[in-house]
Amino acid sequence: MTNYRNVKYKIPTLNLDGTTEASPVEGEIWYDSGKFYLGTSQSFVGAWSSGGNLGTARRYLAGCGTQAAGLCMGGYVSASSNITEEYNGTSWSSGGNLGTARHALAGAGTQSAGLSMGGPGPTTVTEEYDGTSWSAGGNLATARANLVGAGTQTAGLSIGGNTGSYSNVTEEYDGTAWASGGNLATAREQLAGAGTQTAGLCMGGKDGLDSSVTEEYDGSAWSAGGNLATAREAPAGAGTQSAGLCMGGDDDSGMLNSTEEYDGSAWSSGGNLATARKALAAAGTQSAGLCMGGESGANTNVTEEYDAGTGSYDELFSASGGL
């Protein structure tokens, strides 16, 4: 008869901070800090999957909304575009055109209450979307291109950009007019953003070089956050200040497919985009992200959806105890 006391198994090590020797599979046993766990539903790295293609391929467009109700507007086709498209979680359909065709603009808000601002020139143009059509909003105080937006139609943020030189300007929107907010510590353009007017997040961009800088906004001032692992210009961002998402962009090696996830203090690796690209747009959250369009050697209509890694662990027994 087998003496089970002498049977030896190699139990993989699991770090509950998400770093493992290998990704655990449901039903496997894992060890961490003197305890044994049963993996119940394990997936540590988020993954992108194909969504419905945009009707019009374009780069330097803007986006907002959610994975199931996304909005994208403007961009560059062979010239600045006024095209708006709406996403239902499966496919894009035509929305109302922008009043002013623009690329290198920023977006914020939702599919039924969207906000767009800035663009080439640079311009101060702001427009508001009601789910059907765009109407004029209050102009930016500082004309900017290659800026980024965050927040909502009635509590928006416009951040950074280019005024002819790199800009550190932040403005806050109340649904009618823009007012000055706290300046960025690092002036830059082609950055990514996320969050709200009182809990904003911006990362990456270009300040003469590709930037890894992350800054957090508290409604009045920016402070330093954890740097991106990969410095990049022209990425896209989504999510919140404590659960952010940054994807794509460009660095000295070329266009990127890498994704990073933010936990409010540090960035960690997420799942790679299927299509490496820059000058794309994004929407949604860290656990349900959406990105669309951009440049991947040429204008692209590719849409991808992100589902973040999740994990749960059922403790079986401690090394000092028993089953």
Report yes or no on 140 lying in a domain.
yes
Least-confidence region, from 16-20, 136-140, 218-222, 267-271: 16-20
Task: Between 81 and 39, name the one with better pLDDT.
Answer: 81
Given a contact cutoff of 8 angstroms between Cβ atoms, the answer to whether 51 and 69 are in contact is: no
For 212-259, how does the pLDDT look when each residue is reduced to its tens digit (9 = 90+)?
999 999 999 999 999 999 999 999 999 999 999 999 999 999 999 999
Q: How far is CA 250 from CA 180, 205, 236, 258, 278, in A?
A: 30, 9, 11, 10, 6
Quick check: 58 pLDDT over 90? yes
Query: Which pair of tokens denotes residue 93?
Result: 């359909």
**322 pLDDT above the threshold of 70:** no
Name the CA dihedral angle for 61, 199, 112, 88, rounded to a multiple of 10 degrees.
70
Whether residues 257 and 109 fall in one domain? yes
Q: What's the confidence (pLDDT) of residue 45?
A: 76
> Are 22 and 136 contained in the same domain?
no
Which domain range does residue 228 map to?
Answer: 47-307
Residues 170 and 35 in one domain: no
Residue 36 in domain: yes
Q: Is 323 helix (H, G, I), strand (E, B) or coil?
A: coil
323 within some domain: no
Quick one: pLDDT band at residue 152, thresholds 50, 70, 90? very high
Tell me what percent of the residues of the chain surpass a pLDDT of 90: 81
Question: Does residue 93 sit within a domain?
Answer: yes
Q: Is residue 280 domain-resident?
A: yes
Count the domains in the chain.
2
pLDDT of residue 310: 59
User: Residue 307: CB partners within 8 Å, gap ≥ 6?
Assistant: 46, 47, 49, 287, 288
As to burial, measured by CB atoms within 10 angstroms (0-12 exposed, 13-18 middle, 19+ buried), residue 124 is middle
Together in a domain, 151 and 297: yes
Q: What is the pLDDT of residues 157-193, one digit of tens each?
A: 999 999 999 999 999 999 999 999 999 999 999 999 9
> Is residue 187 within 8 Å of 160, Cβ to Cβ?
yes
pLDDT band at 42 (very low <50, low <70, confident <90, very high): low
The pLDDT confidence band at residue 308, using thresholds 50, 70 and 90, is confident
Average pLDDT of the residues of the chain? 89
Q: How confident is the model at residue 21 (pLDDT cuts 50, 70, 90)?
A: very low
Residues 103 and 150 both lie in one domain: yes
Whether residue 44 is predicted with pLDDT greater than 80 in this model: the reply is no
Specify whether the CB–CB gap between 73 and 83 falls below 8 A: yes
40/51 same-domain check: no
Are residues 21 and 77 part of one domain?
Answer: no
- Give the separation between CA 140 and CA 200, rounded to whole angstroms: 18
How many Cβ atoms from other residues are within 10 Å of residue 100's Cβ? Answer: 18
- The residues with which 269 forms a beta bridge, in sequence order, are 260
Say if 2 falls within a structural domain: no
Nearest Cα neighbor of 172 from 182, 163, 164, 162 is 182
Does one domain contain both 162 and 237?
yes
pLDDT confidence of residue 216: 98
Instruction: Report the distance separating Cα 294 and Cα 77, nearest Å.
Output: 10
